[in-house]
Chains A and B, each alone.
Chain A
Amino acid sequence: MVPPVISIRNLSKVYAGGDEALRDVSLDIARGEIFALLGPNGAGKTTLISIVCGIVTPTRGTVVADGHDIVRDYRAARRKIGLVPQELHTDAFETVLATVRFSRGLFGRPPDDGFVETLLKDLSLWDRRASKMMELSGGMKRRVMIAKALSHEPDILFLDEPTAGVDVELRRDMWALVRRLRDSGVTIILTTHYIEEAQEMADRVGVISKGALILVEEKKALMRKLGKKQLTLNLAEPMLRVPPELADWHLALNADGQELLYVFDANEERTGIPSLLRRMSDLGIAFKDLHTRESSLEDIFVGLVSTRSGQ
């Protein structure tokens, strides 16, 4: 069995003020995968990656990165890891080229102008290499942050909310870049609260809520396992309330009474749709159109987190 590239065991973090940011988190990341860590703001996503990267000290637990303990063998572990933080922390007066060279040196790599040039060209930054950071747009700065994180040729890349606050075009570019990196053998761990991002890119998904990892699953399996479908019936005549004769289907009526909504489990043998349609016909309720929609990762995520909150 191939050992995980990152192995997190019983990780907990209690901040000085007493806030418990992480509770006994254990997680393995497979080499070469894209792992999306989902969770609402304040769930503990950034704390988790900050601990792995050495920025925050854990209260308990261990992390091993590519066979190296992040505390005892921090030099070897950190050389394997690149981090793109959520905030655009940059030295405003430094040029793009200088700041990327600085990062490469800081991580113990000898100067390699050829590699840095290729990296900046890959990220469409080469033409702006002499520009100061303060002269760049937000999207450009985000790319520089990625270039800095990749400057020492890491095997593992953490992206903390990589597309927060960027426009749709840049988000698409970023996703393409992440896929290219994965294809080159880099393991990607990204935190996001854009479900669309995880749905688009991730191989596996972890959901963190209130410091606890409540689920880790293959994305496709997760959607299959927890996926619900929704049937929407566009009514010929609006209705004020759902007739009591249809109570067994737990239908919902939309705001203006034009649509009946029925949520069903697509994996079940009996979905309840034929019987619902027959019953409506018996009651003389006509509809003009119908369509079904598969639940998104967002629906699943919201369901999981709200279930957890209710506990």
Chain B
Amino acid sequence: MSAPMFNRHGIWAIYRFEMARALRTLLQSLVTPVITTSLYFVVFGSAIGSRMTGMGNVPYGAFIVPGLVMLSLFTQSLFNASFGIFFPKFTGTIYEMLSAPVSPFEIVTGYVGAAATKSIALGLVILACASLFVPIHILHPFWMVAFLVLVALAFSLFGFIIGIWAKNFEQIQSIPMLVITPLTFLGGAFYSVDMLPQPWRTVTLFNPIVYLISGFRWSFYGKADVPVGLSLLLTLGFCALCLAVIAWIFRTGYRLKS
């Protein structure tokens, strides 16, 4: 019996296993982020948003929708992917993955694919939830989906790296809490970069999150803080960087193999 060159059953096993875990913890996976995001709409969209003048022709409540979806996408992609690979390391079941006939590419496809699927599903649920509060218009649906998928993939790849790197649960939490969430809040999720005075406007442009939120918001309302091409290039570049780091991890066995 010769071994096939591609272990599709292996990828599917990992993917299904990860998705099953999300279904087991549906409340934690889906309901909690939806409630949190709804609260953002109540506070920022209704309470504060009613006092804000429109962002161009877009009502403030609608303006923050892409930023809120991105915020969820970043944190959920990171959490799902990092936890997915960290948990077998923590419990010791990683031995099975390392001794199985699965390539690094297949392992990453299974884990990152499942993490991205979960975060995209959540992003779409939040979008549907937002439509109950504010009118939403998507000007470029193809690019909206493209940004959604690419950003979910990029942050799931990043989360996978964090999961390999982390030695404990605190480290799993540290990057999303200490780096990603602050950068997202400072990255134009709730305001347009144009509203900032100098030099903060220039400083903000060094925040990569600005480019991701801006590109995604452009797909909704056709307005962007930075050129859309640059947003797309940065997203693809981030994916490529994460893939290069993951390739190095598997080549050296960093925190996977002794």
Contacts and interface: CB of A to CB of B under 8 A. Distances in A.
A83 interface: yes
Given A108-B9, A109-B9, A89 B20 contact: no
Chain A: interface size category = 35 or more
Interface stretch (A26-34, A50-58, A164-172): A50-58
A106 interface: yes
Interface in B81-116: 87-88, 91-93, 95-103
B174 to A, nearest CB: 25
B9 A87 contact: no
Interface residues of B, number: 33
Given A56-B257, A56-B258, A57-B253, A108 B98 contact: no
Contacts of B16: 102, 105
Interface string A64-100: 0000000001111111010101010111111000100
A89 B3 contact: no
Contacts of A75: 3-5, 7, 101, 103
Interface of B is mostly: helix
A274 to B, nearest CB: 58
B101 A107 contact: yes
Contacts of B96: 83, 89, 103, 106, 148
A284 interface: no
A81 B99 contact: yes
A110 interface: yes
B20 A98 contact: yes
Given A89-B93, A93-B24, A102-B17, A108 B3 contact: yes
Contact of B92 (A73, A87, A102): A87
Interface in B1-29: 1-5, 7, 9-10, 12-14, 16-17, 20-21, 24
B97 A106 contact: yes
A301 B87 CA distance: 39
Given A57-B258, A75-B3, A76-B2, A108 B101 contact: yes
A16 interface: yes
A249 interface: no
Given A102-B17, A110-B9, A89 B97 contact: no
A111 B12 CA distance: 11
A108 B7 contact: yes
A15 interface: yes
Contact of A55 (B2, B101, B257): B257
B9 A105 contact: yes
A166 B208 CA distance: 55
A110 B12 CA distance: 10
A15 B102 CA distance: 24
Nearest to B21: A93
A91 B93 contact: yes
Nearest to B252: A57
B98 A55 contact: yes
A75 B3 CA distance: 6
B95 A91 contact: no
Contact of A83 (B4, B87, B99, B258): B99
11 contacts: A55-B98, A74-B101, A75-B103, A79-B101, A89-B91, A89-B93, A89-B96, A102-B13, A107-B9, A108-B4, A108-B9
Given A16-B258, A102-B16, A106-B14, 9 more contacts: A53-B98, A55-B98, A76-B101, A94-B17, A98-B20, A101-B13, A104-B13, A105-B12, A105-B16
